[in-house]
Amino acid sequence: MRLRNKPWAKDKIEQNPQYVVQNPEQYRGKWHEVFGNNNPIHIEVGTGKGNFITEMAKAHPEINYFGVELYDSVIVSALDRLIEANLPNLKLLHINAADLAKYFDKNDISRVYLNFSDPWPKTRHEKRRLTYKDFLKLYEDIMVDGGEIHFKTDNQSLFEYSLMSFSEYGLLLKFISLDLHKSDFEGNIMTEYEQKFSEKGNRIYRCEVKYQNEHRDSSC
Catalytic residue IDs: 118
The one-letter amino acid code at 198 reads S
Q: Which alpha helices (H) appear in 51-155, and where do they start and end?
A: 51-59, 72-85, 100-103, 133-142
Question: What are the phi and psi torsion angles at 41 (to 5°)?
Answer: -115, 130
Question: What are the phi and psi torsion angles at 161 (to 5°)?
Answer: -60, -45
Sheet containing 64-68: which strands, arranged edge to edge? Answer: 90-93, 64-68, 41-45, 109-115, 143-153, 205-210, 172-177
DSSP summary character for residue 26:
G
Sign of the four-CA dihedral 208, 211, 159, 52? positive
